[in-house]
Structure 1
Amino acid sequence: MAERGHADGTVGKALDVLEAVAAYGRPVRFTELLDRSSYPKATLYRLLQTLVSQEMVAHDEEAGTYAVGLRLVRLAHAAWAQSSLAPIARPHVDELAAMTGETVHLAQLDGGQVLYVDKRNARNPVEMFSQAGKVGPAYCTGVGKAILAYLPPDALRDALARQSFLRHTPNTITTVEALMDELARIRAAGHAFDREEHEPGIICCAVPILGRSGRPLGALSLTSTTARSSLSQLEAQADLLKQVAGRIATEAESWRFPEIVEG
């Protein structure tokens, strides 16, 4: 369990615990939480009780488990509607998926990582890591690199410091220097690739969704497999991707969608 809450008092600690409960994706026992917690047993129990009383966490006394509470679900839904590109972009994502027949991803940057906020499967779906609501690495995904390439210098430095640079495949970029070279190429071309960098056999072409000031609001991608497509075939759709991304950006800003603030 992260220790970010230590500097933020009780609220920060409670959010740490809430995030730990949510991370399991299933009801979790107190002993499981305690095994991964940096907090003493009594502190962890007290924080859980506070979260339960506020309906942010639900406690099943019979099963002895904790799970995300309905109040948090309501807040998450409101945040999704107000701060996510997904509701605004939905018709454009639908149209793009219908036109291309490929998997479409819509993503934003969250704490230096990629948050997939929407996805449409290809006509012939392929199993892959990405799902709406999932977080992935920015340095080795098309949408992640498309966003990183257009961040202002301070925000980019912060985002780069948050990358793990683990080697997921033989094609994964594993150094800041190599990634910076890649980001320069992306800015020159206006689009990014995933060259089987995160998952073997999975490729994509991605473009940033840029606000009027040039800062990225998110990214949009077409994803396929090496078995049925190629990077050149996906790149042929780059202009279409840019047109759709532009329409999403225009609508997002008309609703005063907040630009990314990294830090």
Structure 2
Amino acid sequence: MPDTSHKVHAVEKAIALLDCFWREKRPMSLTELSRMTGWPKSTVHNLLSSMMDSSVVEQSPADGKYRLGLHLFEYGCAISEHWNVVKLARPHLNALVAKTGESAYLASLNADTLLIVDSAEPNNVFRVASTVGNRLPVHCTSQGKAILAYQDAANVRRILKRAGMKSYTVDTIKSAEAYLEQLKLVRQMGIASEYEEYHNGMCSFAAPIFDYEGVCISAVGIVCFLHSGDRKSAVSPETLEALKNTAEAISTELGWHG
């Protein structure tokens, strides 16, 4: 069990309060925040006041509602400056979209879920769109499989146990053992796939990205519509080859020599 003896509860509460804004994605009143957290208004007000001093939280003079402050944006900029994979991957994502005509995404494992850290979309009328910053489950997405395929089985089981294996469709993988069998195929082929495991009528494919130490840190993936349930025609061999080449090119720029 994690050691909780040295945790600062005020900091934990402040983070929980910030999470309220992140989940709702809108300004909120003191009453709303008190109701969401279950804390007294005085507690919430004190936390907000402390964070306002550092511009982590701001209050609208018009309606008195609170929102995330610009200092958090500065934190985000500082992170992105050092997150080389996003900067390096951007031109490769654009090239992949131009070549395949499919929506492309870059995702990383974070807190037992997938975090979409960048995306590129074609100009087609019909396309699959996903917002940067969204979180996705690892067990029924191709990018989750692409990343976890290169972790040891014990750690994969721990992640699946913590995150759960919620059924999104009738095709969602429901057992850790079946999932681990799929990861073996991912390692053999260098490509992960899922057909209607997360959304009906859609499929996705992903390839792993490795850093200079050979650690799989992210995955690049494409999402396609599954027309008439025909899995064989969902994606061409040329598109899968372009996907693998994209992941390898990003890995090479990160210093990988696999």
Normalising by structure 2, report the TM-score: 0.87
CA shift for structure 1 position 155: 4.1
Check the 8 A contact 1:193/1:231 in 2, yes or no: no
Matches within 5 A, 1:77-116: 77-83=77-83, 85-116=85-116
CA shift for structure 1 position 104: 0.7
Whether 2:241 is the aligned partner of 1:239: answer yes
Kindly report the root-mean-square deviation, in angstroms, between the aligned alpha carbons of the 2 structures.
2.4
Residue in structure 2 matched with residue 67 of structure 1 by the alignment: 67
Instruction: Tell me the distance in 2 between the aligned counterparts of 1:197 and 1:148.
Output: 17
Gaps of 5+ in 1: 255-263
Q: 1:90 to 1:129 in 2, by over 3 A?
A: closer
CA shift for structure 1 position 13: 2.2
Q: 1:232 to 1:57 in 2, by over 3 A?
A: same
Matches within 5 A, 1:18-167: 18-83=18-83, 85-126=85-126, 128=128, 130-153=130-153, 155-167=155-167
Bigger drift between 149-158 and 79-88 goes to: 149-158
Instruction: Tell me the distance in 2 between the aligned counterparts of 1:185 and 1:126.
Output: 31
Bigger drift between 176-185 and 222-231 goes to: 222-231
Instruction: Tell me the distance in 2 between the aligned counterparts of 1:84 and 1:157.
Output: 29
Bigger drift between 113-122 and 245-254 goes to: 245-254
Q: 1:227 to 1:82 in 2, by over 3 A?
A: same
Check the 8 A contact 2:157/2:176 in 1, yes or no: no
CA shift for structure 1 position 203: 0.8
Aligned residues between the structures: 250
CA shift for structure 1 position 107: 0.7
Instruction: Tell me the distance in 1 between the aligned counterparts of 2:185 and 2:41.
Output: 51
* Counterpart residue type for residue 20 of structure 2: A
CA shift for structure 1 position 230: 4.1
Q: Which has the larger radius of gyration?
A: 2
Instruction: Give deviations 1:153-188, integer Å, cap 9, x for gaps.
Output: 464344223323111111111222222222222222
Residue in structure 2 matched with residue 250 of structure 1 by the alignment: 252
Instruction: Give deviations 1:188-245, integer Å, cap 9, x for gaps.
Output: 2221112111111111111111234432110011211012884555261323222211
Check the 8 A contact 2:28/2:66 in 1, yes or no: yes
* Counterpart residue type for residue 77 of structure 1: C
* Counterpart residue type for residue 86 of structure 2: A
Matches within 5 A, 1:159-198: 159-198=159-198
CA shift for structure 1 position 151: 1.9
* Counterpart residue type for residue 10 of structure 2: T
CA shift for structure 1 position 127: 5.9
Instruction: Tell me the distance in 2 between the aligned counterparts of 1:41 and 1:253.
Output: 51
Whether 2:205 is the aligned partner of 1:211: answer no
Q: 1:214 to 1:224 in 2, by over 3 A?
A: same
* Counterpart residue type for residue 147 of structure 2: I
Q: Secondary structure at the match of 1:162?
A: helix
Q: State percent identity of aligned pairs.
A: 31
CA shift for structure 1 position 116: 0.7
Q: Which ranges of 4 or more aligned residues in structure 1 deviate by more than 6 Å? A: none
